[in-house]
Amino acid sequence: MSRNVKKIHKPCRLQAPAVVCPLGDSLDAIATRLFDGQRGLAQSDAYTAGRPLWLGTVTTPLPDDSDWPAYHRSRNNRLLAAALERLTPSLNSYLAEYPDARLGIVMGTSTSGIGETGAALAQRLETGDWPADFHYARHEIGAPSDFLAWRLGATGPCYTLSTACTSSAKALASARRLIHAGLCDAVIAGGADTLCELTVNGFASLDAISDVPNRPFAAARDGINLGEGAALFLVTGEEGGIQLTGCGETSDAYHISAPRPDGGGAFEAMCQALDMAGIHPEQVDYLNLHGTATRQNDSMESLAVARAFPDGVACGSTKSLTGHTLGACGALEAAFCWLAIRHDRLPPHLDTPDPELPSLDFCTQTAQPISARPPVRRALSNAFAFGGNNIALLMEQAP
């Protein structure tokens, strides 16, 4: 259980996020759909040769990449470019106030530009030649951060993390460390992942994909829906606003793809985040669950949450709205927590819970009205990944 030793915090402010996802591309539109529980999923067989699947596809028009260098041309980078456009006003405002600020970039991804490489490989197998504009660098893991550095002319620390579904959450934790180590004054942190044949068919081969809209923690849950998106934060060393006060990271290395059944690593990650923030479990107002809707993940996470929060915590999974955005989900769901704090509202959990799992306090659409519950000041967001990689992020409104 968390030791709850009060820490002396160095500031780590999360400015308003820039998000492009299946729920939209403006914070107001996304907040409306998020708090109303509107799914951003639609059926498509674009990646599966005739097998329609429910996918969280971004429908926002994306920037044209025809005049970019070949090694930057990918849908993943176009998603990032769209998010960067929405981050630019706050970034420019910060740099106007701090013109000598040392700016870093940390991204998370699992797909990078592999979709374009898959299409190029198909052409080579058919014709014997690569497309004229093919460049292998577009699918390298470092491509997202390299792309943003090119767009911004940034020269500070710049790297990409790829730890599957924890990638972009770990990017936020890394940004916090860069600032507190005195290496950066501000960091653009987040991530992006893109739907493509390799990803969709890869998860299908694991029998991990549901043929219906996914149902996290429900008795009939039978797999994920995949999604795509990009989420960027400007992380600064400023006081005030919404602060990233706690990060818990563990690796239980139980299995290459299955989570540790007892949720031990997930439990430790949540406890570490609470310890770093110096708060008690009952002080958390909302917990965004990883909640993938697979049998094993939801089972182990419910065990971990029941152990970490013995007195309960309002919680839910937003993957029923967006699908699982893989390497982008950590930053995307941190953005949802940011919106929950800013709007003092809780995203609803849409599905009736499995009675065989430990009982959790899910935020249903008929849950307590705002007047009957404490304000949403602190939110914890979970992300868990293949290989037993776990992270929990604690965000809170500064006094």
Q: Is 324 a catalytic residue?
A: yes
Q: Check if the beta carbon of residue 330 is closer than 8 Å to that of residue 383.
A: yes
Polymer length of the chain: 399
CA 375 to CA 345: how far, in whole Å? 8
Helix runs in 128-220, H state only: 143-152, 167-180, 197-205
CA 180 to CA 241: how far, in whole Å? 17
CA 394 to CA 398: how far, in whole Å? 12
Q: Is 280 a catalytic residue?
A: no
Tokens of 299: 């089972």
The one catalytic residue among 72, 139, 290, 349? 290
CA 79 to CA 60: how far, in whole Å? 9
| Bridge partner residues of 390 (DSSP) | 250, 384
Q: Are strands 286-288 and 378-385 parallel, antiparallel or unpaired?
A: parallel
The one catalytic residue among 158, 165, 196, 363? 165
Task: Give the angle 371-312-341 at the CA atoms, nearest 5°.
Answer: 50
CA 93 to CA 295: how far, in whole Å? 46
Phi, psi for residue 123 in degrees, rounded to 5: -65, -40
CA 25 to CA 120: how far, in whole Å? 29
Q: Is 290 a catalytic residue?
A: yes
The one catalytic residue among 72, 135, 139, 324? 324
Q: Check if the beta carbon of residue 170 is closer than 8 Å to that of residue 249.
A: yes
CA 299 to CA 317: how far, in whole Å? 13
Rounded alpha-carbon distances, angstroms, from residue 287 to 6, 14, 205, 217, 378: 20, 18, 31, 14, 9
Tokens of 384: 């868990």
| Bridge partner residues of 286 (DSSP) | 379
Task: List residues with catalytic annotation.
Answer: 165, 290, 324
